[in-house]
């Protein structure tokens, strides 16, 4: 139930999310939660009474960003002659550094990814002058305690699984997000229906290991098939997947389920078995490539995406050459690549043979050149193709709209279609990051 906040409480808020799509989802849910308390959302962080920084801990740079952001917020407020905004640090830095943030940056609220349903209470306590911290990982799920979904855009996120049990040796996620937990089947289908009722045409199912989702023997493919049956749903996607949880049922769904889009983000990280073993990835180069073959047999036009790390401790030039040759073999439609960043508390951070920064820079550049080449080639091969585009927003030019192809490419076209419409187009041009198209047919609902 919504009510007016007392005078000493913040009245306006701004949520800023960093990191992965699960953080974006959490940010939306926190915004809905604060709105249900009677606070008003504002686009302008500097003008908000309460700023929620929903942080990411994955690499050192991401983590440092939270401290520079806090400094900037306070400076901007001071420059405007305002009292400092109340600052709440949420997300994975909150979980990992907890009390340290309160001590170092004097923030008002720290709330972990599994505790943010308590945000209104924590804000109330902070408003009373007591810094409030909650980084518990309760056994009862936060999801049941969040308000219902009301208004969303044509493409919506839905978290179905959280946490990770894989413990790759470089990664903080198992520590910041906790063990793998799947939300119940019924709760997810209900939320999917609510999202469609609220305007979503496309739903992206999210999880740190989304394809590990399970409930009473059901797998992610069963969930996809159930969401496929919801009236009004046009597209389903899911991310991020681990190669070891890619079941035959899920591969078959890519062949059978028309609303399941031909796109798969399936990180491999590296191409050398020696490095994969040191990373504790529990798949090999060969098992990964065989998996890709099976997926492509089921769905020949599938666009593959991935993540790569260069400069993992001990990575030699020969190891890196195997990553490049894997990239050549797979030909990704798009991919993310990162320099290895040592994270406190992870096994890799104290491994011998840390790779010098200059070597990492060089390898990243060469890897990105190869990935960009493949992305451009994938886009160029789309010219002449007919496909649907889900219109998501206005473009810069008059009459121009932007949307996504089934293969998650950005597409711009001139059309009088509205946001949320599905338009059939023919692709007429391709750049490194987007496609141009002309409209062929409008699909109504
Ligand atoms: N659960 C997903 C993604 C996790 S984080 C998966 O396993 O694929 C997203 C990406 O960040 C990872 O895939 C990895 O490529 C990268 N990453 C994680 N830890 C890192 C680190 N310490 N240094 C550099 N990149 C890292
Ligand atoms: Fe991190 Fe590995 Fe888990 Fe992905 S699978 S979240 S990289 S530990
Ligand atoms: Fe970052 Fe946490 Fe996501 S560390 S990538 S926000 S799970």
Check which CATH number belongs to the domain holding 165 and give it.
3.30.750.210
Residue 206 CB less than 6 A away from ligand 1: no
343 C-alpha to ligand 3 centroid (Å): 13
| Inside any domain, residue 270 | no
Q: Which of 92, 112, 161, 180 to mutate to test the pocket of ligand 3 (most atoms within 8 A of CB)?
A: 92
Q: Are residues 156 and 252 in the same domain?
A: yes
| Inside any domain, residue 269 | no
Last residue of a domain, one of 381, 397, 423: 381
| Inside any domain, residue 273 | no
Q: What is the pLDDT of residue 394?
A: 96
Q: Are residues 21 and 130 in the same domain?
A: yes
Q: Are residues 168 and 222 in the same domain?
A: yes
> What pLDDT, in 10s, does the model give residues 96-148?
999 899 888 999 999 999 999 999 999 999 999 888 999 999 878 899 899 98
Q: Are residues 244 and 165 in the same domain?
A: yes
Q: What is the pLDDT of residue 8?
A: 67
> What pLDDT, in 10s, does the model give residues 290-329?
999 999 999 999 999 999 999 999 999 999 999 999 999 9
Give CA–CA dist 433/201, Å, rounded. Answer: 23
- Atom of ligand 3 minimally distant from the CA of 54: 6
The secondary structure of the chain, three-state, reads CCCCCCCCCCCEEEEEECCCHHHHHHHHHHHHHHHHCCCEECCCHHHCCEEEEEECCCCHHHHHHHHHHHHHHHHHHHHCCCCCCEEEEEHHHHHHHHHHHHHHHCCCEEECCCCHHHHHHHHHHHHCCCCEEECCCCCCCCHHHCCCCCCCCCEEEEECEECCCCCCCCCCHHHHCCCCEECCHHHHHHHHHHHHHCCCCEEEEECCCHHHCEECCEEHHHHHHHHHCCCCCCEEEEECCCHHHCCHHHHHHHHHCCCECCEEECCCECCCHHHHHHCCCCCCHHHHHHHHHHHHHHCCCCEEEEEEEECCCCCCHHHHHHHHHHHHHHCCCEEEEEECCCCCCCHHHHCCCCCCHHHHHHHHHHHHHHHHHHHHHHHHCCCCCEEEEEEEEECCCCCEEEEECCCCCEEEEECCCCCCCEEEEEEEEECCCEEEEEEEEEECC
pLDDT at 357 over 60: yes
Q: What is the pLDDT of residue 83?
A: 81
Q: Are residues 18 and 80 in the same domain?
A: yes
Q: Are residues 359 and 374 in the same domain?
A: yes
Question: CA 346: distance to chain centroid?
Answer: 22
What backbone torsions phi and psi does residue 294 show, to the nearest 5 degrees?
Answer: -65, -40
Residue 173 CB less than 6 A away from ligand 2: yes
Give CA–CA dist 188/158, Å, rounded. Answer: 8
Q: Do the Cβ atoms of 188 and 158 come closer than 8 Å? A: yes
Q: Are residues 370 and 398 in the same domain?
A: no
Q: Do the Cβ atoms of 276 and 314 come closer than 8 Å? A: no
| Inside any domain, residue 276 | no
Q: What is the dihedral of CA 387, 437, 155, 392, to 10 degrees?
A: -150
Domain region containing 352: 295-381
Ligand 2 atom 1 nearest Cα: 171
Residue 17 CB less than 6 A away from ligand 3: no
Provide the domain count of the chain: 4
pLDDT at 161 over 90: yes
Q: Are residues 197 and 161 in the same domain?
A: yes
**Sequence-distant (≥ 6) Cβ neighbours of residue 391 within 8 angstroms:** 154, 401, 402, 403, 415, 417, 418, 419, 420, 421, 422, 423
Give CA–CA dist 52/131, Å, rounded. Answer: 14
Give CA–CA dist 364/370, Å, rounded. Answer: 10
| Inside any domain, residue 282 | no
| CATH at 100 | 3.40.50.12160
Q: What is the pTM of this model?
A: 0.95
Residue 239 CB less than 6 A away from ligand 1: no
| CATH at 401 | 2.40.50.140
Binding residues for [4Fe-4S] cluster: 20, 56, 92, 164, 168, 171
Q: Which ligand is nearest to the CA of 335?
A: 1
Q: Are residues 375 and 396 in the same domain?
A: no
| Inside any domain, residue 279 | no
Residue 54 CB less than 6 A away from ligand 3: no
| CATH at 343 | 3.30.750.200
pLDDT at 2 over 60: no
**Average pLDDT for residues 423-440, to the nearest whole number?**
96
| Inside any domain, residue 255 | yes
Q: Which ligand is nearest to the CA of 19?
A: 3
How many CA atoms lie within 13 Å of 227's alpha carbon, on the beta-carbon side? 33
Q: Do the Cβ atoms of 363 and 340 come closer than 8 Å? A: no
280's tokens: 């504790």
Last residue of a domain, one of 215, 235, 261: 261
Tell me: cis bond preceding 240? Omega within 30 of 0 counts.
yes
pLDDT at 6 over 70: no
Q: Are residues 361 and 399 in the same domain?
A: no
When pLDDT is cut at 50, 70 and 90, the band that residue 47 belongs to is confident
Q: Which of 307, 313, 339 to mutate to test the pocket of ligand 1 (most atoms within 8 A of CB)?
A: 307
- Atom of ligand 1 minimally distant from the CA of 58: 19
Residue 92 CB less than 6 A away from ligand 3: yes
Q: Do the Cβ atoms of 201 and 422 come closer than 8 Å? A: yes
Q: Are residues 19 and 127 in the same domain?
A: yes
Q: Do the Cβ atoms of 398 and 408 come closer than 8 Å? A: no
Last residue of a domain, one of 357, 381, 405: 381
> What pLDDT, in 10s, does the model give residues 165-220?
999 999 999 999 999 999 999 999 999 999 999 999 999 999 999 999 999 999 99
Q: Are residues 406 and 352 in the same domain?
A: no
Ligand 1 atom 8 nearest Cα: 267
6 C-alpha to ligand 2 centroid (Å): 43
| Inside any domain, residue 233 | yes
């Amino acid at each position: 139930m919504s009510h007016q906040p007392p005078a000493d409480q913040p009245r306006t808020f701004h949520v800023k999310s960093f990191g992965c799509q699960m953080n974006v989802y959490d940010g939306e849910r926190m915004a809905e939660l604060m709105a249900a308390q009677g606070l008003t959302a504002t686009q302008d962080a500097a003008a908000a009474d309460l700023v929620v920084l929903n942080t990411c801990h994955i690499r050192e740079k991401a983590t440092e960003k939270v401290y520079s952001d806090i400094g900037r917020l306070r400076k901007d407020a001071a420059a405007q002659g305002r009292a400092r905004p109340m600052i709440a640090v949420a997300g994975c830095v909150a979980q990992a550094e907890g009390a340290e943030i309160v001590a170092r940056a004097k923030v008002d609220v720290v709330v972990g990814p599994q505790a943010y349903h308590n945000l209104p209470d924590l804000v109330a306590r902070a408003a009373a002058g007591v810094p409030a911290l909650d980084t518990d990982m309760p056994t009862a799920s936060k999801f049941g305690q969040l308000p219902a979904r009301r208004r969303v855009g044509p493409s919506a996120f839905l978290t179905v699984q959280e946490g990770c049990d894989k413990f790759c040796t470089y990664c903080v996620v198992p520590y910041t997000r906790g063990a793998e937990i799947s939300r119940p089947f019924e709760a997810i289908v209900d939320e999917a229906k609510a999202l469609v009722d609220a305007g979503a045409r496309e739903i992206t199912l999210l999880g740190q290991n989304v394809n590990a989702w399970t409930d009473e023997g059901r797998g992610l493919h069963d969930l996809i098939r159930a969401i496929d049956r919801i009236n009004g749903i046009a597209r389903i996607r899911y991310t991020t997947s681990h190669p070891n949880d890619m079941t035959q049922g899920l591969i078959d769904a890519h062949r059978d389920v028309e609303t399941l889009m031909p796109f798969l983000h399936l990180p491999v990280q590296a191409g050398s078995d020696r490095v994969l073993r040191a990373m504790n990835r529990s798949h090999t180069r060969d098992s990964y490539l065989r998996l890709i073959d099976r997926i492509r047999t089921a769905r020949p036009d599938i666009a593959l995406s991935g993540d790569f790390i260069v400069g993992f401790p001990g990575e030699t030039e020969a190891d890196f050459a195997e990553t490049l040759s894997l990239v050549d073999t797979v030909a990704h439609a798009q991919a993310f690549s990162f320099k290895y960043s040592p994270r406190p508390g992870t096994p890799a951070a104290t491994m011998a043979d840390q790779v010098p920064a200059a070597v990492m820079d060089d390898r990243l550049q060469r890897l990105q050149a190869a990935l960009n080449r493949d992305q451009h080639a994938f886009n160029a091969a789309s010219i002449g193709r007919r496909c649907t585009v889900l219109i998501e927003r206005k473009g810069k030019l008059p009459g121009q709209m932007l949307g996504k192809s089934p293969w998650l490419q950005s597409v711009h076209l001139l059309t009088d279609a509205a946001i949320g419409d599905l338009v059939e187009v023919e692709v007429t041009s391709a750049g490194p990051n987007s496609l141009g198209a002309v409209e062929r047919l409008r699909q109504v609902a």
